[in-house]
């Protein structure tokens, strides 16, 4: 009986060894963990392709970008996060300034314009969005509007749609206008919009677009892709995009980027950088463009044919890293004006 038991034990050991040898190397490694401030529906498609092609498993821990940045700061070396994704360049640069991210090699991120990444390459932009105006085509009250600053005109009282001022895109856009047009002009703009909306603001850009399409508002300040998502579902909706502040004297459209950084405390930095390399590759950028209707940050990657081509309008000349450096001044301005 003892001999039979020993034989069975040896057979079992041999089977375990054979199975372990048959497993791919990545199966023994921990999955990459991403603290993601973007909706899963925007990140999962590109992550799935990465996993399919490399076998590297990825876990998304999704929440608000600011909350996740604070979590990274509190956790420090104890964090499980390998990467951090934010929908706002301001949060990315704040994380960089706090020393939470590891620099990325120039040969990896150099394919992305320097204005769309950190000066020290501790984060890199993955997709860009434009602050534009959505206009109801069934009215003519907004025909005079050419600039975002025209939204302060009292002719738009009760007819303007904006988000609450705590919205990351609202903060980022205001920062761009403040840097391009100055503090005082931006203050007057905010005061005019505050009076025009009389405390009635929206918690989502999609709701602004829907309100303009329904004729409840004439015009709204939104990120460009919300217009095209609405039109994809309602192709006959009476709305159009207005690209503000164009022409020789115009400051251009405000941009913001979603981007990624590798945690300084990642236990798998090489595999984390491998994911970043995929995200900035032509393949990864094409997936972002298709899923999000945003602009790829890598030049030469085609955009969604529905959105305005990059070479068709002027963009404000503000490096994305400035969105963090001026964030406190912008929030102080918003609070002093009493923006809802």
pLDDT tens per residue across span 4-63: 444 444 444 343 334 334 434 434 589 999 999 999 999 999 999 999 999 999 999 999
Tens-digit pLDDT profile for residues 205-257: 999 999 999 999 999 999 999 999 999 999 999 999 999 999 999 999 999 99
Dihedrals φ, ψ of 259, to 5°?
Answer: -155, 180
Count of C-beta atoms within a 10 Å radius of residue 274: 16
CB 109 within 8 A of CB 297: no
Asked whether residue 119 falls in the same domain as residue 156, the answer is no
Residues facing residue 130 across a β-bridge: 255
Would residue 49 count as lying in a domain? yes
Would residue 1 count as lying in a domain? no
Please enumerate in sequence order all residues whose Cβ is within 8 A of that of 37, keeping only pairs 6 or more positions apart, or say none: 62, 63, 64, 65, 66, 68, 69, 84, 85, 86, 87, 88, 91
Would residue 317 count as lying in a domain? no
CB 302 within 8 A of CB 282: no
Domain that residue 168 falls in: 129-254+325-337
Distance CA 221, CA 242 (A): 10
Asked whether residue 187 falls in the same domain as residue 262, the answer is no
Asked whether residue 145 falls in the same domain as residue 43, the answer is no
Asked whether residue 85 falls in the same domain as residue 158, the answer is no
Residues facing residue 131 across a β-bridge: 223
Specify the DSSP element, H or E, that contains 32: strand 32-36
The pLDDT score that the predictor gives to residue 29 is 80
Distance CA 162, CA 178 (A): 18
Asked whether residue 207 falls in the same domain as residue 237, the answer is yes
Asked whether residue 166 falls in the same domain as residue 113, the answer is no
DSSP state of 235: T
Would residue 17 count as lying in a domain? no
Asked whether residue 149 falls in the same domain as residue 281, the answer is no
Count of C-beta atoms within a 10 Å radius of residue 111: 17
Asked whether residue 301 falls in the same domain as residue 264, the answer is yes
Please enumerate in sequence order all residues whose Cβ is within 8 A of that of 28, keeping only pairs 6 or more positions apart, or say none: none
CB 149 within 8 A of CB 309: no
Please enumerate in sequence order all residues whose Cβ is within 8 A of that of 91, keeping only pairs 6 or more positions apart, or say none: 37, 65, 66, 69, 168, 324
Tens-digit pLDDT profile for residues 250-298: 999 999 999 999 999 999 999 999 999 999 999 999 998 888 899 999 9
Tens-digit pLDDT profile for residues 63-74: 999 999 999 999
The pLDDT score that the predictor gives to residue 288 is 83
Tens-digit pLDDT profile for residues 110-136: 999 999 999 999 999 999 999 999 999
Q: Rounded to an integer, what is the distance from CA 81 to the centroid of its chain?
A: 19
Tens-digit pLDDT profile for residues 175-201: 999 999 999 999 999 999 999 999 999
CB 148 within 8 A of CB 279: no
- Domain of 98, CATH number, reads 3.40.190.10
Which whole number is the average pLDDT over 89-96? Answer: 96
Q: Three-state SS for 294? A: coil
Q: Three-state SS for 304? A: coil
Would residue 246 count as lying in a domain? yes
Would residue 302 count as lying in a domain? yes
- Torsion sign over Cα 256, 260, 261, 265: positive
Asked whether residue 330 falls in the same domain as residue 197, the answer is yes
pLDDT band at 204 (very low <50, low <70, confident <90, very high): very high
Asked whether residue 55 falls in the same domain as residue 112, the answer is yes
Tally: H helices and E strands in the chain: 13, 10
CB 211 within 8 A of CB 219: no
Looking at the 3D structure of the chain, how many domains does it have?
2
Asked whether residue 121 falls in the same domain as residue 179, the answer is no
Distance CA 31, CA 310 (A): 36
The pLDDT score that the predictor gives to residue 289 is 86
Asked whether residue 151 falls in the same domain as residue 211, the answer is yes
Q: Three-state SS for 198? A: coil
DSSP state of 272: H
């Amino acid at each position: 009986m003892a001999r039979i038991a020993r034989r069975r034990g040896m057979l079992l050991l041999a089977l375990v060894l054979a199975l372990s040898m048959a497993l791919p190397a990545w199966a023994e490694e921990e999955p990459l963990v991403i603290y993601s401030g973007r909706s899963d529906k925007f990140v999962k498609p590109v992550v799935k392709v990465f996993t399919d092609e490399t076998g590297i498993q990825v876990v998304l821990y999704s929440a608000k970008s600011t909350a996740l940045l604070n979590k990274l700061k509190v956790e420090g070396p104890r964090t499980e996060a390998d990467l951090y994704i934010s929908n706002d360049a301001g949060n990315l640069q704040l994380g960089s300034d706090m020393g939470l991210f590891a620099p990325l090699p120039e040969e990896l991120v150099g394919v992305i314009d320097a204005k769309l990444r950190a000066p020290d390459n501790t984060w890199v932009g993955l997709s860009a969005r434009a602050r534009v105006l959505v206009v109801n085509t069934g009215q003519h009250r907004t025909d005079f509007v050419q600039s975002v600053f025209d939204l302060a005109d009292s002719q738009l009282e009760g007819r303007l749609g904006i988000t609450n001022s705590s919205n990351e895109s609202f903060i980022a856009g205001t920062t761009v206008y403040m840097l391009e047009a100055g503090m005082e002009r931006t203050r007057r703009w905010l005061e005019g919009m505050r009076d025009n909306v009389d405390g009635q603001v929206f918690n989502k850009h999609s709701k602004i677009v829907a309100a303009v399409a329904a004729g409840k508002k004439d015009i709204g300040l939104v990120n460009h892709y919300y217009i095209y998502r609405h039109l994809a579902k309602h192709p006959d909706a009476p709305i159009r995009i207005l690209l503000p502040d164009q022409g020789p004297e115009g400051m251009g459209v405000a941009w913001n980027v979603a981007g990624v950084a590798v945690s300084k405390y990642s236990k798998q930095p090489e595999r984390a950088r491998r994911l970043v390399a995929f995200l900035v590759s032509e393949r990864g950028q094409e997936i972002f463009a298709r899923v999000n209707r945003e602009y790829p940050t890598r030049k030469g990657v085609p955009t969604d044919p529905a959105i305005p081509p990059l070479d068709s309008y002027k963009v404000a000349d503000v490096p994305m890293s400035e969105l963090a450096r001026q964030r406190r001044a912008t929030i102080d301005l918003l609070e002093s004006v009493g923006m809802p």
